[in-house]
A and B are shown apart, each in its own frame.
Chain A
Amino acid sequence: MNELRTLWVPLAVSGVAIVLLLVDVLSPPGASRRWLGWFVAAALAAIFAGTFLIDGSGTARGVFEGGPWTVAFQRLFLAGGVVAALGGVDDVARRTPLRIGEYWLAMLFSLAGMCLLPGARELVFLIVAFELMGVPLYVLAAYAKTDAPPGSDPAKKGLASEAALKMYLTGATSTAITLFGLALFTGMAGTTRLDVIGTAPLTPLGGLGLAFVLAGMGYKLGMVPFHMWVPDTYEGASTPFVAFLSVAPKAAGIAALSGIFLFGMGSHRAAWGPALGLLAVLSMAIGNLLALPQTDLRRLLGYSGIAQMGYLLVSVAANDAYSAGMTLFFLTAYLFTNMGAFLVLHAAAEASGSHGYDSLNGLAQRAPGLAASMMAFLLSLAGIPFVVGFWAKLYIFLAAWRAGLVGLVVAGIVLAVIGLFYYLKVLQAAYMTEPGALKKPEMGTGLRLAIGICVLAVVGLGLWPRPLVDGSLAAAKSLLDRPAAATTVNVVPASVRF
């Protein structure tokens, strides 16, 4: 029973999914299913609240570990789910009125997979959770394939399918690569338990396994040079979904990466640290530089997301409890910031029929509140004080410097300045151009609420980051600062190893 209790969050999310499935099937065919989105949002919010009341710490058979680290990530995913549900409720009902139930179902299953990932302490369990998260996302990316947004270019009609296919192919390949790497780990250590794998000496094949896992995870996270699918998918899929896709699976990927590299292979940092550092610099450089010439804001935010992943990897590469806490803090900041930016973009694009810079033209005069929200999000992405993004960047760079990665930090700061250029350009469209014939964006209650939550989080945490910082640090301590794991599992005799 105690073991079920540690798993209660993913179980509850799956439970909501099953209830939703039943309701969807049992309702008469013609009935409105619009409210399902609201139901999902409310249910996820309830589970979010529940994480503060129900203590899920403990381990389940050594493969799943509850505790502050896991709960922190679960809250992150749930918050992302709530915002995504609120932000997408109208869009889903309008674009695919006959398939509302399935949309939310896929999202809930993906969320359930995410909620398993941060606690996964065993490789098979980890990869299964990873796929549970990933597969529904491919479906969701293709969801709007027959329903191009009103007024859009007919030549772009197949974009959603293309987006989903690209994402699926790279995703499937990356899973295969990751699995292969994990298999090599298992061969090296004779077990699939992460706490034991780290204690085994690193063999050359184990090193190869590290490279494979890093590449596989790199695909999922959209690190350079595995980033090609990111902008294409962001451009093709429906924007409220992209808002979710751009943050929650990334956070889940970081959770998996932390599980494998920090928790499992932390003692072998010398082997993977430099590689991760290199990927971080590449991501920051390519992401920021390629965002500059973009004309579609979804692609721009895609490249900006690649750069943001680069900043995060700097922090992961630091490999200590402090920087892991800051990674968590950065992810929280990034979640609200990026979702907010995509949702504002969605609202603006609905009113203008394009996703270019000009879709934001004169937004400050058409919808001052929306423009001010966009400014908060953009400044947060750029890392400007008094919005949460500043603290996020400050903390991860400080943590990385403390861990001795001075070169990475300097590179990050310099490249962040380049990033500012395109964020300011977006701001320029919203504030310094005339609206022309563009109308005031019309937003439903859900979208308003979703953007409101994001603004509140971005500005609120920007003014008062302390509780979240302390919480994140405590969570990371529970993951990494612990007595050496007891090696009670039977280890395969050395002669059998590779």
Chain B
Amino acid sequence: MSSHLLSIIVGAPALAALIVIFLPENGKLAIRVTSLIAATISLIGSIVALRGYDKVAGGQQMVESYPLIPSLGVHLSFALDGWGGPLLLLTGVIIFAGVLASWTLKTRDKEYFALLLILVAGVFGVFVTQDLLVFFLFYEIAVLPMYLLIGIWGASHAVPRAGPFARAWDFFKVGDKQYAAMKLTLMLLVGSAAILVAIFALYLKAGVNSFDLGLLQKAKYDTDLQIILFPLLWLGFGSLAGVFPFHTWSPDGHASAPTAVSMLHAGVLMKLGAFGVMRVGMVLLPEGARFWVPVVGAVAAINVLYGAYCAMSQTDLKYIIAYSSVSHMGVVMLGAATLTPEGWNGAVFQMVAHGIMTGMFFALVGLVYERAHTRAVPKMGGFATVMPGVAAFFTLACMSSLGLPGTAGFVSEFLVFLGAWKAGHYLWAIPGVLGAFVTAIYVLKATRAIFWGPGPSHDFHDLSEAKGTEWAAPIVLGVCLLLFGLWPRVLLDHIDPGSGMYLNKVVKAPAPAPAVHLTSGASPLSLTGGNAP
């Protein structure tokens, strides 16, 4: 089937970024409207792509391919697989909400929106590209604008410095500004360097003179090589997914970023890392993956617990949410490490669920911070009396965070722990469940401390309910959270054939084809029951 839908989804933000660059500096509304139009096109495009994907046929659809560098075998090729639709939708929703959340930006709008759009074009590109080198290109495009976005519009210098990175920073006398932005960028680019080394090896050892992922999947790599390369991809991509102990950029980066950037970074960008580990690392290097999954899973379990534990001891609101992201991304990696259909479905579903939830968190935190002028949780209290709407949405996000049934977070965590149990990794499920329990403690504690109790103290003068475009992000994201929680089949019907397709390549003995379960409606995965008895 030939269509240009995927090109449109990826191209719209890129084109809009170009237009924004040439708009006059004082055309504030024009810049915003252009960005919003592009975001809307991409969002609608992703919905159309999701609806248009033939779930029964599965596989790759809407294929487009244009030669980029034939001598190297690089093609700008897009295709939608089962995972692509939900992840495109996630990105579309987050950028739509993110543009609206940035509506009140005050300085240097032009550069801000241009960078935001370039970044999101990169994210869309990663999710649909079928060429390893182009995958890497889009990945870099998605990561790099972050440096400027956090450095210019964030509070990058206000981050407390600690650890080896801070000592290296001081040793080289590189100044005191933009610490967090630099830390984030450098750690992610070290990861990129590892990825690039692995890509070279994959390309040259395959001997097909092509970066096409489909062809590389068929290549036979030596077991030893796979065992060497897999950690490079796992830690390279994993640094973006917040894999312990390479997660330390994440709290600093998220805490210092402006609202919409935090939304995008925690909501979408971290998923690129996990997506890369699964799509490139595990699928291309099945033997390496099987060799390393015990470690991957164990580290992911540490992520879940350690992230939750750190979040519990924070008092800065943004740090709490940032550490909760570290914890929740651990759930994604845990699901990936199970190498079971349930685990992988849960991992991808968690990407979407956590993306939406954390995007909502950061949007709300931004609202609170703008009004309270502080992020110190102990100082707050009783805000719900003034901003009941914000309080309600925040509580909803909390419920999803702790995995309350009926919210998207429950579906994914349930699937992941089910997968871990089925794979026989009982030891992973325990810290995982424990992590969910600790999550309940810290999110409920934070909600109570901020919103409930007697009315706010007199130090807060500017508290008021959200208004205008500020509502957009919470409403859009909140609806998604409930929709995917109550009716997960919207996404799972897509994710499942995708997981099945890729898992067949990773697990030697073909797993019982999960697609059959779903179409017959008798699967344990279709939580809301099938359409057949």
A interface residues, Cβ below 8 angstroms from B: 292-293, 364-365, 379, 384-386, 390, 394, 397-398, 401-402, 409-410, 413-414, 416-417, 420-421, 424-425, 427-428, 431-433, 465-466, 469-470, 473
Are the CB atoms of B177 and A428 closer together than 8 Å?
yes
Q: Closest CB-CB distance, B14 to chain A, in whole Å?
A: 10
Q: Which of A398, A414, A432 contacts B203 (CB 8 A)?
A: A398
Contacts of B316 on A, CB cut-off 8 Å? none
- The smallest C-beta distance from B358 to any residue of chain A, in angstroms, reads 26
Let me know if B141 and A397 touch, CB within 8 A. no
Given contacts A421-B186, A424-B182, contact A414 B144 (CB under 8 A): no
Does B197 sit within 8 A of A, measured CB to CB? yes
CB distance from A304 to the nearest CB of B (A): 15
A413, B182: Cβ atoms closer than 8 Å: no
Per the bound structure, the CA–CA distance linking A397 and B72 in Å amounts to: 13
> Are A414 and B193 within 8 A (Cβ)?
yes
Q: Does B69 contact A (CB under 8 A)?
A: yes
Instruction: List 5 contacting pairs A-B, 8 Å CB cutoff, sorted by A.
Output: A292-B174, A365-B108, A413-B196, A414-B193, A432-B156
Other-chain contact of B204, A293, A398, A410, A425 (Cβ < 8 Å):
A398
User: Which size class do B's interface residues fall under?
Assistant: 35 or more
Please pick, from A293, A398, A470, the residue contacting B172 in the complex, using a CB distance under 8 A.
A293
Specify the main secondary structure of chain A where it touches its partner. helix
Contact A401 B200 (CB under 8 A): yes
Q: In the assembled complex, which residues on chain B have CB atoms less than 8 Å from the CB atom of A414?
A: 193
The answer to whether residues A425 and B197 also contact, given A466-B69, A469-B71, A473-B71 and a CB cut-off of 8 A, is no
Complex contacts, A469 vs chain B, CB 8 Å:
69, 71-72
Residues on the A chain within 8 Å of B465, using CB: none
A401 surroundings in chain B (CB, below 8 A): 200-201, 204
Q: Which residues of B contact A428 (CB under 8 A)?
A: 151, 175, 177-178, 182
- B174 contact from A384, A394, A413, A425, Cβ within 8 A: A425
Could you say which residues of chain B place their CB within 8 Å of the CB of A402?
204
A402 to B200, CA, bound (A): 9
Known: A386-B137, A417-B186, A431-B151. 11 other contacts (CB 8 A): A364-B111, A379-B144, A398-B203, A401-B201, A409-B197, A410-B197, A416-B193, A424-B185, A425-B174, A425-B175, A466-B68
Residue of B nearest to A295 (CB): B173
B148 at the interface (CB under 8 A from A): yes
Q: How far is the CB of A221 from chain B (nearest CB, A)?
A: 25
Q: How far is the CB of A94 from chain B (nearest CB, A)?
A: 31
Contact check, B69 vs A421: say whether CB atoms are below 8 A apart. no
Which residues of chain B (171-218) have a CB below 8 Å from chain A? 172-175, 177-178, 181-182, 185-186, 189-190, 192-193, 196-197, 200-201, 203-204
Query: A-B pairs with the 4 shortest C-beta distances?
Result: A385-B137, A432-B151, A385-B140, A413-B193
B237 within 8 A of A: no
CB <8 Å contact, B71 and A421: no
| CB-based nearest A residue for B139 | A385
Q: In the bound complex, do residue A398 and residue B200 qualify as a contact, i.e. CB atoms below 8 Å apart?
A: yes
Q: Give Cα A365 to B151, complex, Å.
A: 15
Residues of B within 8 A of A421 (CB): 172, 174, 182, 186
In this assembly, does B387 line the interface, its C-beta being within 8 Å of a C-beta of chain A?
no
Contact between A384 and B140, CB atoms less than 8 A apart: yes
Q: Does B451 contact A (CB under 8 A)?
A: no
Which residue on chain B has the smallest CB distance to residue A464? B68
A431 to B156, CA, bound (A): 13
- The answer to whether B197 and A417 touch across the interface, beta carbons within 8 angstroms, is no
Question: With an 8 A cutoff between CB atoms, is B147 at the interface?
Answer: yes
Q: CA of A433 to CA of B156 in the docked complex: distance in angstroms?
A: 12
- Closest partner residue, chain A, to B74 (CB atom): A466
| Chain A residue at minimal CB-CB distance from B70 | A466
Complex CA–CA separation, A372 to B197 (angstroms): 29
Query: Which one, B111, B137, B190, B200, contacts A397 given CB within 8 A?
Result: B200
Chain A: which residue is nearest B153 at the CB level? A432
Q: In the complex, what's the smallest C-beta–C-beta distance from B21 to chain A, in angstroms? A: 8
Q: Are A465 and B69 in contact (CB under 8 A)?
A: yes
Q: Give the nearest-CB partner of A415 in chain B.
A: B193
Best-surrounded residue of B137, B177, B181, B193 (most CB of chain A within 10 A): B193
Q: Residues of A contacting B148 with CB < 8 Å? A: 427, 431-432
